[in-house]
A and B are shown apart, each in its own frame.
Chain A
Amino acid sequence: MDKMPAWADVVLIPLISLLLAAILSAVVILAIGESPVEAFNLMVDGALMRSSGWGYTLYYATNFIFTGLAVAVAFHARMFNIGGEGQAMLGGLGVALACLYVPWPHWTLAMLGSTLGAAAFGAAWALIPAYLQARRGSHIVITTIMFNFIAAALLNYLLIGVLKPTGSMEPASAKFDPSFALPTFQQMFSSADAPLFRGAPANVSFFLALAACLFVWLLIWRSRLGYEIRAYGWSQTGAKYAGISGTRIIIISMLISGGLAGLMAVNTTQGEAERLILNSTEGAGFIGIAVALMGRNHPFGVLLAAILFGFLYQGGAELALWTNIPRELIVVIQALVILFTGALDNMVRMPLERIFLALRRKES
């Protein structure tokens, strides 16, 4: 039975959680002798009041949309994919191979190639943990985490050896052909007298992320496969009784999940760095878990949550630039948001449910 109306679940709970996180963050900032009001103004001004700030916010959000969707799709089958990080790293390898070794005639084709490469490599990296879960019962959480480390080691091996141009100090691949560079928002939306998104890395892959949102919505709620995935997630035995193969659902949902995580690399590797660097994922795979939790595993929720985290990242950068708040505390603020929206969900939910139940009793 529904204990409270749907709008309270999707709007009220995240808002109250955010508010609590903001209050605690303000206390933390006060404790180190800075002004929370000024810090908040700086974050909003730097992330949302300038088009270049939006360019960074949306750049980070693009990453989080992909990894958030990846976690959400797997979660509908009750698979907890913590391997978004590793799958995104391998996606980067797919992008790099597509951009380094294929002479694409135009950036649109290069983007198509790198998209396919990223999705294929990301999905392949998710396949082995999926198989181990489906056939051998090895827990997906453990195997995907371990695969993150294997991915890091593999990438490191390739970037200090095979892919690194000789003599370069940096563990990074050669630069991609400049004609493969994805159009940034600056190139797309600026006119000569109104420069917008100056210098910001947001690029055309943001629209790829929006398309991925639509794809996931169609997949989960408008397709037979999505129905099977949800059915398996709700009840494995029930799904089996209905003739749904658990092995098939686990493997397919993890492949889609891994592919989505891999797609993040189109944004970071082809869109921003234009070469494969070691640290291109930067924990976005883990942020994806918080984004999916906060977005209630719905693509639209993931989109909003991803933009919120993009704002926190870009706002955090502004804080680091113009205040003396050390970066460790900026991480604390980001962590508080994750803690309240993800892990401490029930702390807000339970009292709220009680309030709604009490109200309903009064009405009846």
Chain B
Amino acid sequence: MTLMTKFLGAAAAAALSAGAALADPALIYDLGGKFDKSFNEAAYGGAERWAEETGGSYKDIEMQSEAQREQALRRFAEAGFNPVVTTGFSFSTPIAAVAGDYPDTKFVTIDGYVDPEEHPNVKSILFSEHEGSYLVGMMAAMASDSGTVGFVGGMDIPLIRKFACGYAQGVKAVNPDAEVIANMTGTTPAAWNDPVKGSELAKAQIGQGADVIYAAAGGTGLGVLQTAADEGILSIGVDSNQNHLHPGKVLTSMLKRVDNAVYESMTAGADLEAGVEVLGLAEDGVGVAMDEHNADLVTDEMTTAVEDAKAQIAAGEISVHDYSSDDSCPALTF
């Protein structure tokens, strides 16, 4: 009996020290997959940057099914990975279910929200996508000659409506008479990776007079950007800087710095501060991409207007309506 307890004790100690020695961060991608040219890939980029700069190593996994979420969280926590970073709002519920069982592990949910009072070891990182979309909406309205601009969303979910709503408000702020055509690609997760349908929607919007199209659709957006470039109109990229995809044809990109969120979470490591963090314009969590590829497209007037609006939003003088706060949008009907 005593021998047994000794063995067990030794095993437990070994397991503990192994866990402590490990303490690598882990990253879990949402169903969209690691290389979606957008949201998850930005997270991957952040993790790679961290690994390159620190020489550390991390573990990552792509989800295949809903039931795997909780499984992956538990297995990583049990194996001693810390912190466990997840991308996508769908992780908020599984994390809330798991976090209590592993109080020494820090969990990060990017785009998700977990009550910090109930779960003191969870950090929720949210982005003000509506504010960034507002700025690109302003630029779209200024660049448009026809007074009609387009929006192509991926799957029809509240998050994408939040993008569309901010965009429409930005457009209307510059030109109250402008028309915003908003289309969603589909109602299944396949809508995130359907460039052909993206291209069709872009053509349909061009047919209705749109001459700037904002794509917030993951891999589907690549089709929108391609068609816009082929048809000689302007497009707006999303999440990562997509200006370089078609130089001189992409007006700008709405940046969502998921990479920074991952990078900083991994840098903080096990000492990560839990709680809720909202990354908006003021924190450079979202913004517009300006580089040599779109320098010729952006006029001084646009730059000034965007800078002014950015300062006013940061100062609270302009408030951009957030679709997810009440499931409605003053500037656009879905």
Contacts and interface: CB of A to CB of B under 8 A. Distances in A.
B188 interface: yes
Contacts of A191: none
B302 interface: no
A203 to B, nearest CB: 11
Interface string A191-214: 000000001010000000000000
Nearest to B31: A279
The 7 closest A-B pairs by CB, nearest first: A156-B187, A169-B89, A327-B62, A153-B187, A152-B188, A171-B157, A199-B74
Interface string A122-166: 000000000000000000000000000100110111001100101
B61 interface: yes
A311 B70 CA distance: 18
A170 interface: yes
25 contacts: A59-B67, A152-B187, A153-B187, A156-B156, A160-B157, A160-B158, A168-B158, A168-B324, A169-B89, A169-B111, A169-B112, A169-B158, A169-B324, A170-B90, A170-B93, A170-B112, A201-B67, A201-B70, A272-B66, A275-B93, A282-B65, A313-B64, A313-B65, A317-B72, A330-B64
Given A59-B67, A170-B90, 16 more contacts: A153-B187, A156-B187, A160-B157, A166-B326, A168-B324, A169-B89, A169-B158, A170-B89, A171-B157, A275-B93, A278-B189, A313-B64, A316-B64, A317-B68, A321-B61, A327-B62
A164 B158 contact: yes
Nearest to A154: B187
A280 B66 contact: yes
Count class of interface residues, chain B: 35 or more
Contacts of B189: 278-279
Contact of A167 (B62, B64, B155, B327): B327
A103 interface: no
B33 interface: yes
Contacts of A170: 89-90, 92-93, 112, 157-158
A280 B93 CA distance: 14
A185 interface: no
B122 to A, nearest CB: 15
Interface in B49-84: 61-62, 64-68, 70-72, 74-76
Nearest to A313: B65
Contacts of A309: none
A118 B156 CA distance: 25
A11 B163 CA distance: 55
Interface of B: 31, 33, 61-62, 64-68, 70-72, 74-76, 89-90, 92-93, 111-113, 155-159, 161, 187-189, 324-327
Nearest to A267: B67
Nearest to B158: A169
Nearest to A317: B68
A166 B327 contact: yes
Contacts of A93: none
A273 B69 CA distance: 11
Given A152-B188, A170-B93, A272-B67, A321 B326 contact: no
A56 interface: yes
Residue from B161, B187, B327 having most chain A Cβ neighbours under 10 A:
B187
Nearest to A200: B71
A39 interface: no
B108 to A, nearest CB: 16
A16 to B, nearest CB: 28
A157 B158 CA distance: 11
A268 B66 CA distance: 9
Residue from A152, A160, A161, A316 having most chain B Cβ neighbours under 10 A:
A160
B71 A167 contact: no
B61 A320 contact: yes
A238 interface: no
Nearest to A318: B75
A60 interface: yes
